[in-house]
Structure 1
Amino acid sequence: MQRLGSNGDRAVTRVRVAGGVLLVAHLALVAWITLRPLDVPWVSAANLRPFAGIRADLALGPGTAVRRIGAGLGLLAPLGVLLPLAGGRITASPLGSLLRSTAVGALLSLGIELLQTGVPGQVVDIDSVLLNTLGVVLAHLAVVPAGRAAIRRRSRTRRLAAVLRGDPAQGLTPTIPRVGIAP
């Protein structure tokens, strides 16, 4: 994690805490939506063939398809933004960050589907795993690189302004306080 000075440390900590709180709240909402028992008169068979459910949704018409596919994409999509936010790293590798978010989203979606096997009225669907993972990837690509670039730009602007003001404590080169040897 990039150190931003004493004021920046507090800001990074606040962002990480806010990201963690929002992440926990979102996961609690997802657990409530996906793992609560449903009172239904019948349950369809599990879908273990990739894209079979998506093709069935498309056959029902465009309105139903957009609603169902959009729900699959949107369920875990906030993870694509909340996971890097909770990590609080400004200078992370874009590919590494995308791969971490994608892996966490895919594993979480798979875990939800496995837990649904024991919940009455819930059906396992491999297309849910695919759509949830794709939603995480799309949200990450849409928000995280631009957000990190904006934060880095703002940080550079503040450092440059401090140098132009002549503030010696805020130079372009970070200073490391000397620590004496303990007795």
Structure 2
Amino acid sequence: MQREGSIGGSAAIRIRVTGGVLLVAHLAFVAWVTLRPLDVPWVQPPNLRPLATIRADLALGGPAAARRIGEGLALLAPLGFLLPMVGGRLHVSPPASLIRTAAAGALLSLGIELWQTGVPGRVADVDSLLLNTVGVALAHALVVPAVRARLRRGAERDGPVPLLQEETSQGRTPTIPRVGLAPWTDAPLAPDPYR
């Protein structure tokens, strides 16, 4: 049985499996980049003031600022399209999908920042959390709506995908589960009129 609005058939399975493999590979890369110890002579204190590091990067000016801010935006950006790819849903509210994906990216970034407090040479930075979340949201907004629209057009061209295997041209056959009496009742059993 498929969920309402999900992609149907073997194409859905291939898309979701590919998305899952890419997601695991990307998360392994992110863990390697962000959680390995650094051998540095001194470490800056953690930044808990929003936009302080971004302002400091912008004060550097030019390519150095663009590189540092771009790295923060790009680190988790692939999650913006990999998470919906793993979900495999075509018919979903775009704002709800964006909020759900950005929230997942923010939680993952928060987890990374908290883990970095125990890694030698790494410190937590609230601006990394902000940049990572914005990167996830931008990637989602730029990629996912266009891909979903294209997949929906392809699904409409190929014909409707039934939500349940039991569906026919007349609709689903309703099933009613049999309900028995509780074992502690003293009510006499009535004869079954259908026997």
TM-score, structure 2 normalization:
0.79
User: Which has the larger share of helix?
Assistant: 1
Q: Equivalent residues in 2 for 1:144-159 (5 A)?
A: 144-159=144-159
Moved more, 37-46 or 132-141: 37-46
Specify the code of the residue in structure 1 equivalent to 2:40.
V
The 8 Å contact of residues 106 and 133 in structure 1, kept in 2 or not, is answered as yes
Structure 1 3/90 Cα, relative in aligned 2: closer, same or farther at 3 Å? closer
Name the CA distance, whole Å, in 1 between partners of 2:73 and 2:52: 16
Stretches of structure 1 that go unaligned for 5 or more consecutive residues are 161-172
Name the CA distance, whole Å, in 2 between partners of 1:86 and 1:159: 23
C-alpha RMSD of the superposition: 2.1
The 8 Å contact of residues 6 and 88 in structure 2, kept in 1 or not, is answered as no
The 8 Å contact of residues 3 and 9 in structure 1, kept in 2 or not, is answered as no
Q: How many residues are aligned here?
A: 167
Look up the match of 1:44: 44
Name the CA distance, whole Å, in 2 between partners of 1:88 and 1:3: 6
Q: Equivalent residues in 2 for 1:164-183 (5 A)?
A: 176=172
Look up the match of 2:183: none
Measure how far apart 1:70 and its partner are: 0.2
Name the CA distance, whole Å, in 1 between partners of 2:22 and 2:6: 23
Q: Equivalent residues in 2 for 1:1-183 (5 A)?
A: 1=3, 2=5, 8-159=8-159, 176=172
Measure how far apart 1:154 and its partner are: 1.2
Name the CA distance, whole Å, in 1 between partners of 2:94 and 2:112: 27
The 8 Å contact of residues 6 and 91 in structure 2, kept in 1 or not, is answered as no
Measure how far apart 1:103 and its partner are: 0.6
Look up the match of 1:167: none
Stretches of structure 2 that go unaligned for 5 or more consecutive residues are 161-168, 178-195
TM-score, structure 1 normalization:
0.84
Name the CA distance, whole Å, in 2 between partners of 1:67 and 1:61: 10
Moved more, 150-159 or 26-35: 150-159
In the TM superposition, structure 1's runs of 4+ consecutive aligned residues that sit over 2 Å from their partners are 1-4, 173-179
Measure how far apart 1:61 and its partner are: 1.5
